[in-house]
Amino acid sequence: MRGGAVTGANFDLTGRVALVTGASRGIGRALAEGLAAHGADILAVGRDEVTLDPVCEAVAAQGRTAIPLAADVSDIAAIDELFKRIQSLGMSPDILVNNAGIEEVCPSAEVMPDLWDRIVDTNLKGAFFVAQGFARPLLAAGRGGSIVNLGSLTSAVGVPTAAPYTASKSGLMGMTRALSSEWAGAGIRVNALGPGYFRTELTEVFYRDEDWQKAMLGKIPMRRFGRLEDLVGATVFLASDAAAYVTGQILYVDGGYLASI
């Protein structure tokens, strides 16, 4: 067999700086802490800087640097200010985890324009302009990097009462493919993670229904819901040199759900 061996060094993120949006809780916090455990320093982004204190403390406890940054990614002006602040800190992240997102269930016949805009502006429009702000200094400097966009099962299947969310996450996959094709020559890889059913504050509304839980568990071949730590390894892989030839892909972490339908 030709080629180098896969070792721990391939997954080592020491010396890297990871920008994680939606880092104050749930998946974003788990991924920020997981990247730090593999050596990355963290720029933690959330709507309110105070809510980022717990994740920054957890990262610091691992001996890594963590800087809280307040920004609403649905606001383009706020994204511009975010990258100006990052530049003022003398930092240039080379990993982006585009995790910030919102979801609100609503029958499609009742969706109003403000609900549509609120979800799509955060999950898709915001993700694009954060990726743009992340990539610009890398392109100017001729440096590579890695973007991991947070997709969803709705990137692949339709879910009733979630049309705006499904549209945003499906669009995110198109964006991932487009950016990966455009920036691959510059050494910037763009991939996506597709979490299955994970219980977070964002999805809590579903888990309150025990009948729904039973029905969903019956559809998941591994017969359990995801744990946040299940997402860390996949994210570290996509962010690291172990995935040096991987771009434009979505890696589903779903206990076999999509494979079984």
How many C-beta atoms surround the C-beta of residue 141 within 10 A? 9
Please tell me the class of the 8-260 domain.
alpha beta
- Read off the pLDDT of residues 202-260 as tens digits, 9 standing for 90 and up: 788 788 889 989 999 999 999 999 999 999 999 999 999 999 999 999 999 999 999 99
- Read off the pLDDT of residues 164-180 as tens digits, 9 standing for 90 and up: 999 999 999 999 999 99
Cross-strand partners of 251: 193
Domain extent listing, the chain: 8-260
Residue located via tokens 């105070």: 50
Sheet holding 95-98, edge to edge: 66-70, 41-46, 17-21, 95-98, 145-150, 188-195, 250-253
- Cα 58 to chain centroid distance, Å, stands at 19
Q: What is the mean pLDDT of residues 12-39?
A: 97
Buried b (16+ CB within 10 A) or exposed e, 220-242: beeeebbebebbbebbbbbbbeb
- Read off the pLDDT of residues 68-95 as tens digits, 9 standing for 90 and up: 999 999 999 999 999 999 999 999 999 9
* Percent of the chain at pLDDT exceeding 70: 97
How far the first Cα of the chain sits from its last, in Å, is 36
Q: Are 147 and 24 in contact (CB under 8 A)?
A: no
DSSP labels, 121-165 = IIIIIHHHHHHHHHHHHHHHHT--EEEEEE--GGGTS--TT-HHH
Among 38, 32, 31, residue whose Cα is nearest residue 13: 38
Active site positions, annotated: 165
Which pLDDT band holds residue 1 (cuts at 50, 70, 90)? very low
- Read off the pLDDT of residues 126-141 as tens digits, 9 standing for 90 and up: 999 999 999 999 999 9
Q: What pLDDT is stored for residue 127 in this prediction? A: 98
Q: Are 208 and 118 in contact (CB under 8 A)?
A: no
Report the length, in residues, of the chain: 261
**In sequence order, which residues have a C-beta less than 8 Å from that of residue 172 and are 6 or more positions away?**
123, 124, 127, 149, 150, 151, 155, 192
Q: What pLDDT is stored for residue 6 in this prediction? A: 62
pTM across the whole model: 0.94
